[in-house]
Amino acid sequence: MSYIDVGKENSTSIHLYYEDHGSGQPVVLIHGYPLSSTSWEKQIPVLLEAGYRVIAYDRRGFGKSSQPTTGYNYDTFAEDLRKLITHLKLKHFTLVGFSMGGGEVARYFGKYGSKDVSRAVIIGGVPPYLLKTDDNPEGVDESVFQGIEKAVAADRYAFFTDFFKNFYNTDVNLGKRVSEQAVQASWNVASIASAIASLDCVPTWYEDFRKDLEKIDVPTLVIHGDADRIVPFASAGQRTARLVKGAELVVIKDGPHNVAWTHADEVNAALTQFLAKGGAMSEKREKDKAVA
């Protein structure tokens, strides 16, 4: 088991758990709420088979990582990611973020730019801006998020039960694309997350990532299910693909929020095809940037 120290809370070190497998160009996988790196189990073997080095880590507060009471904001999440990348001395890497992880991808570019980054992938991501405002009419009303916060604070275990129904669209997919046991496994992972993180992360879902997306200047793939009930396609993926110059958009027909599980074959095909376009071209791009 591998950990990296990303800070301290009083006398206690804050550790991120990560796994580092395979060889080749690195692909960093960033999970969604309220899961952990284990949620990538349908992608990791495929990426390894395709010849990539795969790094998956648990966000602070989730999975096997430390559970501090501070740092649940995207500047800190991006800083944690940066520390992991620096620790592993990664070059020519791809960032792949699901749901909340899409926020890390966007904020990473916003804070640190694209040096050493070859590609970016956002799957069912929260960018560009989920909150409905005067200059963002496509967003979701703030009362929806306030209701979620109240539900998590009152009984997060009950909230997770309802949340995962819409996470997988179980009324349509249960017994077909997702089993009762898989849904239960997701609940089990959520239940061991920090209670503070489970609540404090909710307001981060409507962070404004529009300026961050403008700084993404590498080939980018956006994957989103058109039946996503957690992060609506029209409010998120569709707009992200428009805001990132040259981004490719793959819409998963009838796909719920976690298409990486329910529609793994389609997601994996899109992901590996996109990554295969990198290689020498990505390295050339980095050399050109270094010269400039």
For residue 153, what is the domain's CATH number? Answer: 3.40.50.1820
Per-residue pLDDT, 288: 53
Q: Are strands 248-252 and 220-225 parallel, antiparallel or unpaired?
A: parallel
Say if residue 219 is preceded by a cis peptide, omega within 30 of 0.
Answer: no
The total domain count for the chain is 1
Domain holding 257, by residue range, is 2-291
Ranges in the chain, pLDDT < 70: 1, 278-292
Estimate to the nearest angstrom the gap between the alpha carbon of 41 and the chain centroid.
Answer: 14
Active site residues per annotation: 99, 228, 257
Q: Both tokens of residue 233?
A: 């396609």
The pTM score is 0.95
Q: What is the pLDDT of residues 9-43, one digit of tens each?
A: 999 999 999 999 999 999 999 999 999 999 999 99
d(CA 82, CA 247): 23
Measured in degrees and rounded to the nearest 5, phi and psi for residue 124 equal 55, 35
Per-residue pLDDT, 144: 95
Q: Helical H runs in the chain?
A: 44-49, 74-88, 100-112, 142-168, 170-173, 180-191, 195-200, 210-214, 237-243, 259-262, 264-276, 280-291
